Structure 1
């Protein structure tokens, strides 16, 4: 995608949604970190449903450790891979207590040393909690970037590095949220809704999907 088209691409997404936000619910940075870890291979809606009661009781790493792995499992058992996620959340909570005075660090290296935290999770926390201009490449963003031609790559890291070069101000801070939401609600995996896409003329995907009535 040409530089001018990339700018126009994000300009249109920004006009449609000037203040995009994560759909994961949290009350502080620690809860955000836990929610993102729990969201791997799960929907944000499913995570929110499971964490509302949990986060009403647990707001700090110390409270999570006190709750314990079995207690946490009872809260998150509706989420996929809840056994391993519970183990990771307790481990990362203890690590925050032991090495960071119970405070979530804002640096990628420190975040990635925590149990269950990979590059994508670290990028989300850095962006949402600390205002870093990072690009968290999930399945939606990976699909949109490859399908549209915005930033093609065979791996999430390859897509992330291309976005780093392609996205300019004033769009860098919110870019990954616009792309994730676009992939979640319009540029869907099985059937992209091209007929209501604000960037359809900039997109390399062919053939464009017609409206349901026309398709029928």
Structure 2
């Protein structure tokens, strides 16, 4: 379970402060794969980074029961001058799992071929996402944070990603950011809409989708 208490985060802009979260209070129950929806620039990726602990809020706090993954798909998760394999081994040591087992899983799942042994700075964004998703799925987390990564790659890779994600969700929770409503319906059973620094939670993912679509139409 993850709880946001009086969470506030903003950034300065030429037109004043842009609020990603404005005194947000939210509890995400156990057993949920939550779609975090919102228009471009609403702050969905920033919210994931705060929940993961890689970015601090301005005020308020985030309480989590169990361990939370790094934001899968977030390019800052890795050291750019290390190879994909070296990054995988480094993450394995951090989480105390067998380095060879984790690397074998990543090599098979991410299907990067020889690129796995090249520096991450040479990767495309899609390759970085595949590496991040492979490493994350190789580890056991109580909550997975996923940012657009299940839409990366060809149809076969997307099917493989969805299948392993659903397998992990039998025992874990997730917060998923994606612009694909097909992916939302395929992967998520609850939803939250981020709009103007406020978050509206729905147990029914279809209700979240309806509000999100309405907000998008208003923005046009």
TM-score calculated relative to the size of structure 2: 0.28
TM-score calculated relative to the size of structure 1: 0.28
Say which structure is richer in strand: 2
Say which structure is richer in helix: 1
Larger radius of gyration: 1
Q: Which has the higher contact order (CA 8 A, sep 6+)?
A: 2
